[in-house]
Amino acid sequence: MTARAVADERNEQSGPERARLLVVVAVPVEAEAVLRGLPGGARVLPLPGGELHRVEGSPVDVLAGGVGPAAAAAAASAALAAHRYGLVVSAGIGGGFAPGAPVGATVVADAIVAADLGAETPEGFADVTELGFGTVRHTPPPAAVALAARALAGLGAVTGPVLTVSTVTGSAERAAALATRHPGAAAEAMEGFGVAEAAARHGVPVFELRTVSNPVGPRDRAAWRIGEALAALERAFAALPVPALIEEAGRG
């Protein structure tokens, strides 16, 4: 029996689950920051290959799915198969493109873009869409993005495309190439596109929220501000109007 069939059978027996928000982060410290921002405690629900933190005071489940798009997609898919969600968010720390998204900034994605999914050609990089396969872009529901951006305006949130990369940018040349290819890019991280692919296959809307721990550019481990970014992540989840976001996303 599939996980979805299990969920359907459970719903028939005990009534449908209320649509919830699934938050997919990469690592446990990010999950802890998100949970600190939300009201009440959380209980743990087992999931194939992981565990969900179900928040008691808000319709939110938090899942640390691993680093990178493949781990994130697999983890998100397992949760989406087992429970009913109205919205999925890929969240966590990320690199910020200067000058719009400095360290500590909060970024709401208006596009989730796979930035290195493609092929090098003699004419330069060609993404998989140009090669004739699939997509490299998911667009979160604009009304939900606008609602999140308004709710986070007091935290100085910026809105823009968030790039998903499998290799963290480590040079000024690569940062410039990404910014040229993706005008207005606000941040890069490693999971958003994987979460978005899983959400799309399950027919659930998705958005991405990142707080900036380091600039996108030359590698400088001394410049990382992970604590600052985690504190911003906690503040962001404390400020998000979760039920209204789920409702707005459902309208889109």
Pick the closest to residue 207 from 21, 51, 55 (CA basis): 21
- Number of shown-chain residues binding ligand LNDFFVEH (CB under 6 A): 19
In the chain, % helix, strand, coil (3-state, to 5) comes to: 40, 30, 35
Is residue 58 involved in binding ligand LNDFFVEH (CB under 6 A)?
no
Q: Give 23 or 190: the residue with its C-beta nearer to ligand LNDFFVEH.
A: 190
* DSSP 8-state code for residue 44: E
- Beta carbons within 10 angstroms of residue 118's beta carbon: 17
Q: How far is the CB of 239 from ligand LNDFFVEH (least distance, A)?
A: 21
Report if residue 159 touches ligand LNDFFVEH, rule: CB under 6 A.
no
Of the candidates 69, 86, 92, 141, which one interacts with ligand LNDFFVEH according to CB under 6 A? 92
The tokens of 144 are what?
């939900």
DSSP per residue over 76-126, as a string? HHHHHHHS-EEEEEEEEEEEE-TTTS-TT-EEEEEEEEESS-EEEETTEEE
Q: Sign (positive/negative) of CA torsion 70, 207, 142, 165?
A: negative
Q: Is 170 in the site for ligand LNDFFVEH (CB under 6 A)?
A: yes
Tokens of 50: 């992981």
Q: Is 190 in the site for ligand LNDFFVEH (CB under 6 A)?
A: yes
As measured in angstroms, the least distance from the Cβ of 51 to ligand LNDFFVEH is 18
| CB contact set of 168 (below 8 Å; sequence gap of 6+) | 95, 188, 190, 219
Exactly one of 168, 177, 179, 231 binds ligand LNDFFVEH (CB under 6 A); that residue is: 168
Shortest Cβ 53–ligand LNDFFVEH spacing (Å): 17
Residue nearest to ligand LNDFFVEH (CB): 95
When asked if residue 98 is in the footprint of ligand LNDFFVEH (CB under 6 A), the reply is no
Which CB atom, from 72 or from 246, has the smaller least distance to ligand LNDFFVEH? Answer: 72
Among 37, 59, 69, 95, binds ligand LNDFFVEH (CB under 6 A): 95
Per-residue exposure over 198-233, b if at least 16 CB sit within 10 Å of its own CB, e if not: bbeebebbbbbbbbbbbbbbeeeeeeebeeebbbbb
Residues that bind ligand LNDFFVEH (CB under 6 A): 26, 67, 92-95, 165, 168-170, 188-191, 213-214, 216, 219, 221
